[in-house]
Amino acid sequence: MSKEQLTNDQEPVIKERKRGQEGSTSFLSSLGIDLSNVHVRVSLNPEDKELIQSTLKEISDKVDYRWKVTQGIMIVALLLSAGVQVVNWL
């Protein structure tokens, strides 16, 4: 939109897109491609599967530890702010 149109106290035209609504055709269906019966199967070697599982376990443990540390810091901050408030009241 140009600046002239915006200074005339007119609101810009907003068009809504049709997404995921019934009756709307997707790009693939407009090309005649039907993916409703396509299934994907991924197979891994047992060593690779164990490596992925152990790596995910390590990441999960780190996230849990860091979340517990964060919760501890938040509790300390709340207690200190409550202590400061009590001191201000005295």
pLDDT at res. 15: 75
Query: Burial level of 45, CB count in 10 A (0-12/13-18/19+)?
Result: exposed
Domain edges within the chain: 3-89
**Does residue 12 carry a pLDDT above 80?**
no
Task: Express each pLDDT in 29-73 by its tens digit.
Answer: 778 888 788 888 889 899 999 999 999 999 999 999 999 999 999
